Amino acid sequence: MRLKKYPILEYDSSRKVIVAPGMFYKKELPEHCVICFFDDVLKKIRRKGEGKLIGHLSSEMGKQPIFEMLINKKRLVVFHSAVGAPLAAGFLEEIIAKGCNKIIACGGAGVLNKEIAVGKIIVPSSAVRDEGTSYHYIPPGREVSAGKKGVKAIIKVLEKYKIGYIVGKTWTTDGFYRETLSKIKARKAEGCITVEMEAAAFFAVAKYRKIIFAQMLYGGDDCSGSKWDSRRWNRCSIRERLFRLSCEACISL
């Protein structure tokens, strides 16, 4: 590895590491997995008896439960990701180490175009890498693409039910309190339609580990730069619908 002016650009392609998820976990889970950012939806599923608790992931914030569901007679793992690229990527690494390799994530995102309605489904095709985690998995670059097989599976399900959607670029940032007007303007100019905190890291880990991964987002708060508007974006009915679509897309892989 050669030193650069900025440490974040010092990508090392070596696969020899000090700590690896395989040191702590064995392959014991089915290959299909949905990463869900909606705690309200997962609580509802558990209350209804649809999901069986089969294990946990852990961090200093406590235990993160792992559930198993049966969808069309196929086993599907479901868990709630951490918010933010570093821990989200860490949990993705661990669930891969436990055997999952066909993964769909579902979550919400701020919109950079106020015309994108609350609940509108967005399928990220790529993510601008304005976070740090992805730079440890793939060489430095402006963007990272979503997995084509996963994106295709999502679109197939959405078109099956005649649900409108947008395929586009998302902006992944670590600094949600540093979304300045000039940055928002620049990201919009390069084609970003949403802003969130995990996609670039997810896509980079998936490429590194050679697994199938894609993500569905729904239009949430308005972050387009004129005036922030929460738009009451965290509505449960929208979130559960997105989760169910994600499950169907995942088991089709």
2 assigned to some structural domain: no
pTM here is: 0.96
19 assigned to some structural domain: no
One digit per residue, the tens of pLDDT, for the chain of length 253 reads 888 889 999 999 999 999 999 898 999 999 999 999 999 999 998 888 898 999 999 888 888 899 999 998 899 999 999 899 999 999 999 999 999 999 999 999 999 999 999 999 999 999 999 999 999 999 999 999 999 999 999 999 999 999 999 999 999 999 999 999 999 999 999 999 999 999 999 999 999 999 999 999 999 999 998 789 998 887 768 899 999 999 999 999 9
The set of long-range contacts for 181-185, using a CB threshold of 8 Å and a minimum separation of 24, is 181/225, 184/112, 184/223, 184/224, 184/225, 185/225
Instruction: Give the CATH number, domain containing residue 131.
Output: 3.40.50.1580
Residue matched to tokens 């558990």? 46
Q: What are the distances in angstroms from CA 139 to CA 21, 191, 202, 211? A: 21, 22, 15, 18
7 assigned to some structural domain: no
| DSSP single-letter state for residue 137 | T
44 assigned to some structural domain: yes
Domain of residue 43 covers: 25-251
Q: How far apart are the first and last CA of the chain?
A: 37
31 assigned to some structural domain: yes
What's the structural domain count of the chain? 1
The set of long-range contacts for 42-48, using a CB threshold of 8 Å and a minimum separation of 24, is 42/67, 42/78, 42/80, 44/236, 44/240, 45/69, 45/78
8 assigned to some structural domain: no
